[in-house]
Structure 1
Amino acid sequence: MSLIRPFAALRPAPGRAGEIIAPPYDVLDRDEAHALAAGKPWSFLHVSKPEIDLPPETDPHSPEVYAKAAENLRRMINAGVLRRDPAPFYYVYRLVMENHVQLGVAVVASVAAYDTNRIRRHELTRPDKEDDRLRHIEALNAQTGPVLLAYPKAPEIDAIVAEAAVGEPDADAISETGVRHSLWVIRDPATLTRLTEQFEQLPALYIADGHHRSAAAARVAAARAKADPQSIHEASHGYFLAVAFPHHQMRILDYNRLVRDLNGLSEAEFLHCVSERFQIEASPVPARPRKPGEFGLYLHGRWYRLTLQSAFFPDHPVERLDVSLLQRHLLTPVLGITDPRRDSRIDFVGGIRGLQELERRVDCGAMALALVLHPTPMDDLMAVADSGEVMPPKSTWFEPKLADGLVSHVLD
């Protein structure tokens, strides 16, 4: 099996992409999705968040929700809003967010490579979230949410993709957040072959975002292969939908923490405990970390810059991450938060919301303090994946995000 291969995408008819594209299914709750899709009958949220078309009390994991997703997808296909390409192609996918540009390629990636760790992950998955994506794939007989992949240094691939992104795109739309999503179809057989061969030379691909989608696709492939053990090598279910970008173009934002209380400490006691492992410096402006090992703290209307003492830096690829350092040297020993996955005293805010959102939630009394992290470097993510380990929860926030609805992978 090749690492990637072309596929016949289900995608918007010419001129319809702006009516269709939607944020990823997992960045909106039901109410947000319902409001965003209001008055937009062709929004892909009707497929990715179909509970918006059912009574508010509907369990989002009930069978009727997945049935509604399939019904809505059929409606879009029957209306000609979505069309499937007549042959397998690759698709250049460009993201533009303000001054940031990413140029990658939409592909289907090998489940076998995922199973053998050539497509590498860095996060644990939750069975309930895997189950949800599995039921969605089975109901639609399609994968509609692309997995975000990174590939290591490969100038030949970069050049092929750049050469294909010329002229007017086949699809072009600006999302509600101002991100421009553009798509060019690579139809030339020689270029398709070159791209497949160049990817085949890579040692690995890295999942940046979409661990539950890729895990669910692997489970679908395994289940279908039981009936036909050879099918996984050639059938469409042996591959999952993805968009691969060069790792040096990808943008990770900070993923910050809010804590509800000081664990019974006064402000002075809390700062004293922190000072045992961090240098504390008052900051007249919001303290955005300038380098790894530095953190911002917002407490009682004041900003501080925290710098971890050098004696506490390990060499281990996971333990040296800022999220690990903060957990080991502040959240656990000072604030008593030992399990950030389950502790209700801690919350997480993606850096896209800005430091003002942290100030707002502390100033209104909902939270006692905010902690700002330096973004996880892409090289650190890849090092963790290469070591076969996993990162702590809420370590990365990728931005801009891929849109749902621009390309989907139909399982034949």
Structure 2
Amino acid sequence: MNTPGDSEATAPRGLELTPFHGLRYDPDRVGSLAAVTSPPYDVVVRPDGVHLLQDSDPHNIVRLILPQSTSPGARNEQAADTLRRWIDEGILKTDPDPGLYVYEQRDVDGTLQRGLIGALRLSDPADGVVLPHEDVMPHVVADRAALMRATSANLEPLLLTYRGDSATIATPQIIERTAEKPPLLATTTDDGVSHRLWALTDRADLAAIRADLARHQALIADGHHRWATYRRLRAEHPSPSPWDYGLVLLVDTAHYPLRVRAIHRLLHGLPVADAVAALDGLFRVRRLSVPLPEAQAALAEAARAGNAFLLAGDGAFHLVDRPDPALLARTVPAGHPEAWRSLDATVLHATLLGHVWHIPEDSPAHIAYLHDATTTVTKAERDGETAVLLHPVREEVVRDLARQGATMPRKSTSFGPKPASGLVLRALEL
């Protein structure tokens, strides 16, 4: 199998990104485009972030991607009713021509990312066209599937990456040329990131992009649960149907490299003192009475030598490293590539959660996954729980493991910048 993003001239089918009729907010019917957007559903901190987004505008997309009600069924019905009402009232309007969408994000630090939003034909895992690198949690897939069934819509794109080469230069040229034109929309969100969107409907351009992408495979950078949801729903509907496709943002990282950050853990019901005590004789633990940035710098230095973690929640940081080799040999599953066995996330889930702290990794009652380190520490200190901060994995490690067919533990990585939710939706009934 070729590496993710390598040319796939011999593959039975490469990436097939299809134009669709985008469903977008009418800027004249909402307070501002920035006020109706949201981070992806799994990045929104709940419940505080949901309430903040709901209060920002009565039509914020969070009312669709994270509806609030008394039961899962009621939440999904509410989202479906809200979507239909917004379409009927003209809050959301359908673009007249099917197309792909060039999407640009520019961060406050100058980072620029451009990619294509479209409906990607879903492939079978054996085809190797779309490569996952993380496991998923079944209850999350079931929750997302129920929401998509109810709304009959892809409410937010997942993020895929591929690596273009000298033989596929048409696509980046088309993207750059399109970005010189006036956009369909432009807005800047509260985090200072500017977003611009263009419709790409020229038949010659679409044909050139289709030919380019047919030679490539992609890595799922963000959205494993949504990809698993797309595949589940496709299996439920006779083909051909709109469920044969799923909404994605596809980025050529040869031109626009992504950042890779860690996803942190919040362990409910486990005080830091108990977490540290359980590590006695198994890991080295050092208390750090320093601010978060200095603690993370110490974590980065320790991670260069081996597995390392930061625990927090009691007003200080505890640097955990140098695991007992015999403990790792006993607890980390064999039969995997060495790069997988030595991942911090592997050791965290197999050794610390599974054998030292006895915490079920798939139970929301016991563990939460948060993208922001400051938020994770703050919540741990507020509730007397344990925050586990990780150091990010290098992108080349992720790609190499995906090439080998090895999936990393769930929520191992956070690629970004992530697409904002609410800029363009895909209604399957259109």
Shift of 1:198: 0.7
One-letter code aligned to 1:388: G
Q: Which residue does 1:406 correspond to in 2?
A: 423
Contact 1:287-1:303 within 8 A present in 2 as well: no
One-letter code aligned to 1:74: R
- Out of 320, 337, 341, the residue aligned to residue 319 of structure 1 is 341
Per-residue CA distance 1:349-400 (angstroms, 9 max, x = gap) = 42x343x852x45656713x65432212222222222222221122112343
Secondary structure (helix, strand or coil) at the match of 1:137 reads helix
Contact 2:101-2:200 within 8 A present in 1 as well: yes
Shift of 1:149: 0.9
- Out of 137, 146, 158, the residue aligned to residue 126 of structure 1 is 137
Q: Which residue does 2:16 correspond to in 1?
A: 3
Q: Distance in 2 between matches of 1:266 and 1:388?
A: 35
What is the percent sequence identity of the aligned residues?
A: 26
Q: How does 1:29-108 map to 2 (within 5 A)?
A: 29=46, 32-38=49-55, 40-51=57-68, 56=69, 58-59=70-71, 61-62=72-73, 64-99=74-109, 100-108=111-119
Note the aligned Cα RMSD (angstroms): 3.4
Contact 2:36-2:56 within 8 A present in 1 as well: no
Per-residue CA distance 1:214-262 (angstroms, 9 max, x = gap) = 222223222221xxxxx43xx4321110001134622221223455346
Shift of 1:3: 2.1
Shift of 1:43: 1.6
Q: Distance in 2 between matches of 1:173 and 1:343?
A: 34
Structure 2 unaligned segments of length 5 or more: list them. 1-12, 330-335
One-letter code aligned to 2:176: A
Q: Distance in 2 between matches of 1:6 and 1:122?
A: 27
One-letter code aligned to 1:320: S
Change in CA separation of 1:253 and 1:216 when aligned onto 2, cut-off 3 Å: same
Change in CA separation of 1:273 and 1:310 when aligned onto 2, cut-off 3 Å: closer
Change in CA separation of 1:338 and 1:82 when aligned onto 2, cut-off 3 Å: closer
- Out of 125, 148, 157, the residue aligned to residue 146 of structure 1 is 157
Secondary structure (helix, strand or coil) at the match of 1:213 reads helix
Per-residue CA distance 1:104-141 (angstroms, 9 max, x = gap) = 11011111355734111123333333233223223222
Secondary structure (helix, strand or coil) at the match of 2:136 reads coil
Shift of 1:76: 2.0
Q: How does 1:6-405 map to 2 (within 5 A)?
A: 6-14=19-27, 17-28=33-44, 29=46, 32-38=49-55, 40-51=57-68, 56=69, 58-59=70-71, 61-62=72-73, 64-99=74-109, 100-113=111-124, 116-154=127-165, 156=169, 157-202=171-216, 204-225=217-238, 231-232=239-240, 235-247=241-253, 249-258=257-266, 260-261=270-271, 270=279, 272-275=281-284, 285-288=294-297, 289-290=300-301, 292=304, 293=306, 295-298=308-311, 303=317, 308=322, 316-327=338-349, 335-337=356-358, 339-342=360-363, 348-350=369-371, 352-354=372-374, 358=377, 360=378, 366-367=384-385, 370-405=387-422
Count residues with an aligned counterpart. 388
Change in CA separation of 1:321 and 1:86 when aligned onto 2, cut-off 3 Å: same
TM-score normalised to structure 2 length: 0.77
Contact 1:295-1:371 within 8 A present in 2 as well: no
Q: Distance in 2 between matches of 1:30 and 1:304?
A: 28
Contact 2:307-2:323 within 8 A present in 1 as well: no
Shift of 1:194: 1.0
Structure 1 unaligned segments of length 5 or more: list them. 226-230
Task: Point out the more displaced range, 114-123 or 191-200.
Answer: 114-123
